[in-house]
Copies of this chain bind each other. A is one copy, B any other.
Amino acid sequence: MASIDDVARAAGVSTATVSRALRNLPNVQPATRVRVLSVAAELGYVPSPHAATLASGRTRTVGVLTPGIARWFFGEVVDGAEHALRGLGFDVLLYALGSPRTDGPRPPVDPNVLRRRVDGTLVVGLPLEAAEVSSLVGLGVPLAFVGSGPSGQVTHRIDDVAAGALATRHLLGLGHRAVGHVTGARDPLSVWSPAAGRREGWRRALAEAGVDGPPTWVVDDAEFDLAGGRAAAHRLLAARPELTAVFAASDELAMGVVLAARDRGLRVPDDLSVVGVDGHPHGELVGLTTVSQDAFSQGHDAAVGLLGMVVGERAPESVTYPTRLVVRESTSAPRADRGPRR
């Protein structure tokens, strides 16, 4: 494999000049640059990224930490980040922590796997403990969060409290009063996790409407997928048959709620209204009403912002993305005999 020495020799210049010419640095005479470029092409020279990293300290690589990519939101975000990063000449090192196939709590994030390996770190939808955040900060490279993030860190996300309130107010506006909630909490449910925010939005909207939703209207230990939502909804609906509506913390959970309702012989929306969050394209399969967000853009923009920090720009502001209530067929007024008492 041709090395920079081969190119230098063939072009009759020093390796320093080859290095400058190839990286488009100033201080190379146009004619020299052209010669170097053509010799390099001729020899099929491809610089060794590892040698460049060792010499410069820069890796041109970003670490993407995520619980997994099989969930819709994570997949979209990682996809968006990957395209932004690739487009700007950066590699992406994927760390899918917390296997969807293993049970038990996720082991703490070990920052050493990233040490000396990345120029920046993007944390996607992984609610981290404070200690984990500081260990990541301790890496000394820029850090950005998508989907959730502690205050003081650059974060790209929607307003989860507002999203939860928007979904719940929609149900209240239709006349529902007994509105349950299905959510997940396998990761530490820190104050800045999406689940915590959406739950808080639900609680506030109920309180505003004068509804005193008891804690038993919530099931909060669901896996964040279809099967998890289904199982959780079964427990919730069995325990609280008075519920006429359920707000689920994600569309995947919400679709599971719809399946559980069907399992139990309940019609959606006649017997049970269901709302989710995400705008998952499959929501349409069950006419799911949802609060939608643009996950791809969050990943894309976060990656671009992170690279800005890598090249020395000051940290950008955190960004809050818009959400939109998409009303489909999974929500309606409660049946007359199940509506609010007067």
A286 to B255 CA separation, bound complex (whole angstroms) = 11
Chain A contact surface mostly: helix
Chain B residues with CB under 8 A of A53:
50
The reply to whether A69 and B59 contact each other, CB–CB distance below 8 Å, is no
Q: Is A281 an interface residue (CB 8 A)?
A: yes
The reply to whether B86 and A79 contact each other, CB–CB distance below 8 Å, is no
Chain B residues with CB under 8 A of A100:
79
> Which of chain A's residues 80-119 have a Cβ closer than 8 Å to chain B?
82-83, 86, 91-96, 99-101, 112, 115-117
Q: Is A282 an interface residue (CB 8 A)?
A: yes
Question: How many positions in chain A have a CB within 8 Å of any CB in the partner chain?
Answer: 46
Closest CB in chain B relative to A89 CB, distance in Å: 10
A117 to B115 CA separation, bound complex (whole angstroms) = 18
Chain B's closest residue to A49 (CB) is: B117
Residues 55-74 of chain A: 1 if any B CB is under 8 Å from the residue's CB, otherwise 0?
00001000010001110100
The reply to whether A93 and B92 contact each other, CB–CB distance below 8 Å, is yes
Known: A48-B54, A51-B54, A82-B94. A296 touches B227 (CB 8 A): no
A78 to B79 CA separation, bound complex (whole angstroms) = 12
A331 to B197 CA separation, bound complex (whole angstroms) = 42
The reply to whether B116 and A48 contact each other, CB–CB distance below 8 Å, is yes
Count the copies.
2
Chain B residues with CB under 8 A of A70:
72, 75-76, 79
The reply to whether A284 and B296 contact each other, CB–CB distance below 8 Å, is no
Residues 278-289 of chain A: 1 if any B CB is under 8 Å from the residue's CB, otherwise 0?
000110111000
Chain B residues with CB under 8 A of A92:
93-94
The reply to whether B116 and A46 contact each other, CB–CB distance below 8 Å, is yes
The reply to whether A50 and B59 contact each other, CB–CB distance below 8 Å, is yes
Q: Is A258 an interface residue (CB 8 A)?
A: yes
Q: Contacting A281 at CB < 8 Å: which of B68, B76, B227?
A: B227
A112 to B284 CA separation, bound complex (whole angstroms) = 42
Q: Is A253 an interface residue (CB 8 A)?
A: no
Q: Is A333 an interface residue (CB 8 A)?
A: no
A82 to B101 CA separation, bound complex (whole angstroms) = 12
Known: A48-B54, A59-B50. A281 touches B94 (CB 8 A): no
Q: Is A243 an interface residue (CB 8 A)?
A: no
Residues 23-56 of chain A: 1 if any B CB is under 8 Å from the residue's CB, otherwise 0?
0000000000000000000000010111101100
A131 to B227 CA separation, bound complex (whole angstroms) = 43
A198 to B60 CA separation, bound complex (whole angstroms) = 41
Q: Could you show 17 A-B contacts with beta carbons less than 8 Å apart?
A: A1-B116, A50-B51, A54-B54, A68-B79, A69-B69, A70-B79, A75-B75, A79-B100, A83-B99, A83-B101, A86-B96, A92-B93, A101-B296, A226-B281, A255-B282, A255-B285, A282-B285
